[in-house]
Amino acid sequence: MKSHVWRPLYVALGIIALLLVLRVFLVPNDFGVSEQGYMYGWHRTSNEAEWKKVTVKYKGSEACKECHEKNYNDITSSPHADIGCENCHGPLLNHPEDPEKLSIDRNRELCLRCHLKLSYKTSDRGNLKGINPETHNAGSKCVQCHAPHNPGQLGQKQEVKK
Q: What is the pLDDT of residues 34-64, one digit of tens each?
A: 667 666 667 777 888 888 888 888 888 888 8
Q: Which pTM value belongs to this model?
A: 0.57
Range of the domain at 121: 62-144
| 156 lies in some domain | no
- Asked, for residue 149, whether it belongs to a domain, the answer is no
Q: Please, which pLDDT band fits residue 1 given cuts at 50, 70 and 90?
A: low
**pLDDT tens column, 74-99:** 888 888 888 888 888 888 887 877 77
71 vs 90: CA distance, rounded Å: 16
* Domain identity same for 128 and 69: yes
**How far apart (Å, rounded) are the C-alpha atoms in residues 74 and 26?**
51
- Statement to judge: residues 99 and 137 lie in one domain: yes
Asked if residue 57 is part of any domain, the answer here is: no
- Asked if residue 73 and residue 41 are part of one domain, the reply reads no
Do residue 127 and residue 81 come from a single domain? yes
115 and 67 share one domain: yes
pLDDT tens-place string over residues 109-120 = 888 888 888 777
Q: Domain tally for the chain?
A: 2
CB 133 within 8 A of CB 116: yes
Question: Is 27 contained in some domain?
Answer: yes
